[in-house]
Amino acid sequence: MVNIQGGIPEMGYDRAIVTFSPDGRLYQVEYAREAVKRGTTLVGVVFGTGIVIATIRPAEELSVPSIGSDKVHEIDSHIAAGMAGFLADGRVLIDFARVRAQVHKLTYDEPLSVLGGVKEIADRMQLYTQYGGVRPYGVGYLFGGIDENGPQLFEIDPSSAFSSWNAQAIGRGAAEALKILRKDWKEKMSKDAGIELALKALKGGEKGVKMNEIELCVVDNEGFVEYRGENVKLLKKYW
């Protein structure tokens, strides 16, 4: 019998992903969630004809802003994803999702649906919660896009569970960002209003954020558009 005090497991039940604790918990999955909670704030917003995903990449004095581990990615021309947590884990899953999107298009002669893309990533993540010798992916996603069902936004948890949202935030500033999203999100809002709200929520969650640190993308009927590096200046009117 193992005693658990203060939510901290004694050695044993957190050593392998295949071992449930007596109260039905997988501690390695919970640790992966902590990695996401400590990541930079990630915000997603659904507007009338598309979605916005925004986060930050803190700028170092000698770094090259255009090269490095991006946090917002294009999966296909109609699908995008942003991530918080371990970027190396997230990058591998982004590449996996891109391949699955192209395989689907070649196989069925139609683009992968947004929910289909969510399930591809979630299924992959779930495999790493049930085999010995592996660990869960330490990353969470806001995954969204537009298809025949209109604009959609999903959160994917390290456990592989996913849920649909009109607006959502994850990462270290999620609590403050969510207060703004709950107050200001409106159904059928314009693209400009969606971008403005995403930036407002991001600034609420990440105090002192600078415009040149922003990574933001929009997916709507015109396709995928990303704002970072030099072209982040185009967001000045929303700032």
CA–CA dist 1, 14 (Å, integer): 15
* Statement: residue 3 has pLDDT above 70: no
CA–CA dist 83, 214 (Å, integer): 14
Helices 174-184, 191-205: axis angle to 10 degrees equals 150
DSSP class of residue 69 equals -
* Statement: residue 168 has pLDDT above 90: yes
pTM, entire model: 0.92
CA–CA dist 172, 153 (Å, integer): 20
Tell me the per-residue pLDDT of 41-56, one tens digit each, with 9 for 90 and over.
Answer: 999 999 999 999 999 9
Percent of the chain scoring above 70 in pLDDT: 91
- In single-letter form, the type of residue at position 202 comes to L
Which fold is adopted by the domain 49-58+67-238? Glutamine Phosphoribosylpyrophosphate, subunit 1, domain 1 (3.60.20)
* Statement: residue 65 has pLDDT above 70: no
Between 132 and 99, where is the model more confident?
A: 99
* Statement: residue 59 has pLDDT above 80: no
Give me the residue spans of the domains in the chain.
49-58+67-238
Task: Give exposure, 62-91, as e/b (b: 16+ Cβ within 10 Å).
Answer: eeeeeeeebbbbbbbebbbbbbbbbbebbb
CA distances in angstroms from 205 to 43, 123, 188, 217, listed in the order given: 9, 30, 24, 18
pLDDT number for residue 2: 45
Percent of the chain scoring above 90 in pLDDT: 79
* Statement: residue 83 has pLDDT above 60: yes
CA–CA dist 234, 239 (Å, integer): 10
CA–CA dist 188, 28 (Å, integer): 40
E strands of 58-138, at which residues? 72-76, 79-85
DSSP class of residue 40 equals P
